[in-house]
Chains A and B, each alone.
Chain A
Amino acid sequence: MAQNGSKVTRRQFLTYTLTGVGGFMAATLISPMVNFAIDPVLKKSGAGDKVKVISLDEITTEPQRVDYKKQTQDAWYEFEETLSAWVFKDESGEIIALSPICTHLGCQVGYGGDPTRPTEFFCPCHFGRYEKDGTNIPGTPPTAPLARYEKEEKDGFLYLGSPVAQL
């Protein structure tokens, strides 16, 4: 349109200024709304408090399923979430709390869920299997060990926090 590089035609000038100003106005309107919509991604999830779960005396070397309740805040809605953990002591006497969520696709695993393999965790959805310590057995669907809960032993009780993925 311009005869040479230094000249801008009247039409070009108007096109650029009008699209520029229009774009700025549109951006002013839209950007708060976009920010509003993508807020869940921008918010960092707070590490939850640890919850009292079970008396230390009750923990044996045999994994047992412990169901417990945790006060959870979901946006404006507050409720008691029911969670479970598989809790036991390993050979060295250390307490281990495994998450029952299968690392394959998120079903619930059970200890001894497969009667022919009583010392393994078993996932009924795709026959995923884990050792007693949560290590996934090669050749079955899961590709990672079961997550372990953050734990704390205090005043004779076991307290559990969020599950931590084991890689």
Chain B
Amino acid sequence: MLQKIYDWVDERVDITPLWRDIADHEVPEHVNPAHHFSAFVYCFGGLTFFTIVIQILSGMFLTMYYVPDIINAHASVYYLQNEIAHGQIVRGMHHWGASVAIVMLFLHTLRVFFTGSYKKPRELNWVVGVLLFFVVLALGLTGYLLPWDMKALFATKVTLQIAESVPVIGGIAKTLLAGGEIVGARTLTNFFAIHVFFLPAALFGLLGAHFLMIRKQGVSGPL
């Protein structure tokens, strides 16, 4: 049945070369943990992507119940966690996944650094990777405010002070981020928009470039 549907589509649109291009490629021996167990360090990039997929999925579902408003934000988080089926699990995935994503990303960066994989011709991919690192850190930072509890509030006040300490543009950066003079209603809507629309858009673009380049250039050779 599935095979027939596939054949029908393939006969008309010729999709086989599309996925073959993506899925069919040699995994070199030096990055295959079945050959050398120490090659597991090459898995961290994939694991980072996997956790980010979990973040995107759980985030999409959390948005069904969350509201970025100073009166209702905390109440909606409390409600989705305690009154909705599996709310604790879905919010837990997003909460813990955020930390796991950053840990994995860091391990991936270390592996690339210590195997020298950033060297020519892969410099550009290193640059894109660093930009991805910043985007993920910014996602963690903006997401931190959204539950609107005391921890979120005071952490964000510190964040804004750090932004303010930047020479020359600090004051403007702080006002722009906070959307005003205090951490309040505008800050919450600002951070929400940045967290669920702007940063994911940047993330998708950069991830696309990151993956395109690794496929084009291949995994770096053995040490």
Contact = CB atoms under 8 A, between A and B. Distances in A.
B64 A37 contact: yes
Contact of A32 (B64, B78, B79, B89): B89
B78 A37 contact: no
Contact of B87 (A29, A30, A36, A77): A36
Contact of A30 (B57, B72, B76, B83): B57
Q: What is the interface of chain B mostly: helix, strand, loop, or mixed?
A: helix
B61 A33 contact: yes
Contacts of B79: 75-76
Given A29-B54, A30-B57, A35 B76 contact: no
B86 A32 contact: yes
Interface in B49-87: 54, 57-58, 61, 64-65, 72, 75-76, 78-80, 83-87
B98 interface: no
Interface size class of A (residues with CB under 8 A): 10 to 19
A29 B56 CA distance: 12
Interface in A107-144: none
A37 B61 contact: yes
A33 B76 contact: no
Contact of B58 (A33, A42, A75): A33
A30 B86 CA distance: 11
A32 B90 CA distance: 7
Nearest to B75: A76
A150 B83 CA distance: 28
B86 A36 contact: yes
Contacts of B64: 36-37
A39 B76 contact: no
A77 B57 contact: no
Contacts of A36: 61, 64, 80, 84-87, 89-90
B56 to A, nearest CB: 11
B133 to A, nearest CB: 25
Contact of A76 (B54, B76, B85, B90): B76
B95 to A, nearest CB: 14
A144 to B, nearest CB: 33
Contacts of B57: 29-30, 33
B123 to A, nearest CB: 35
A33 B90 contact: yes
B72 A35 contact: no
Contacts of B61: 33, 36-37
A35 B78 contact: no
A36 B60 CA distance: 11
A33 B58 CA distance: 7
Nearest to A40: B84
Interface of B: 54, 57-58, 61, 64-65, 72, 75-76, 78-80, 83-87, 89-90, 93
Ordered nearest first, which 5 A-B pairs have the shortest CB separation? A76-B75, A32-B86, A76-B79, A32-B89, A39-B85
